[in-house]
Amino acid sequence: MKTPPPSAETDAPSARLVRGDVFAIPCPSREILTHVSSRWGVLILVSLLDGTHRFSELRRRMGGVSEKMLAQSLKALVEDGFVRRVSYPVVPPFVEYSLTPMGHEVARHVAALKDWIETNLDRVLDNRRQHEEAVAG
């Protein structure tokens, strides 16, 4: 009777391939999700889909980011391995950001979501108006 375990959590200790579970409170996948789906995380990933960019380029492109937030968001994505940071020791500073292969994978999903929202904006806005009327009337 060797029924395989339903989840991989009970697998062999060494080469375990654990799957995340966003529904579980302590799962680190939640943190990663917030990094990539945060307001600036999304814009960074999407921006880098068309190649490498400097800090200031990203800043100019993304309306409304403060330097602090951009730096913070980039740092999180670099730590997670989605973005590669290359800095040249010159003055003034010169730093390039680009997607890692892994970053490219997530970025595609994120971009798909972002594109859906952008192209279907009208539909959503119409729904909102209808909803308002329905509530008011």
Residue from 24, 49, 95, 121 that binds DNA (CB under 7 A)?
Answer: 95
Q: Tokens 């108006």, residue? A: 129
End-to-end CA distance of the chain: 63
Interface mask toward a copy of itself for 38-77; x: CB under 8 A: xx--xx--x--------------xxxx-------------
Residue from 13, 23, 51, 90 that binds a copy of itself (CB under 8 A)?
Answer: 23
For the bound state, the minimum distance from the C-beta of residue 95 to DNA, rounded and expressed in Å, comes to: 4
Q: Is the peptide bond before 13 cis (omega within 30 degrees of 0)?
A: no
Distance of alpha carbon 34 from alpha carbon 61, whole angstroms: 22
Q: Alpha carbon of 100 to those of 46, 78, 84, 104, 106: distances in Å? A: 13, 9, 6, 6, 10
Which residues make up the interface to a copy of itself (CB under 8 A)?
17-25, 27-30, 32-34, 36-39, 42-43, 46, 61-64, 78-81, 102, 105-106, 109-110, 112-114, 116-128, 130-131
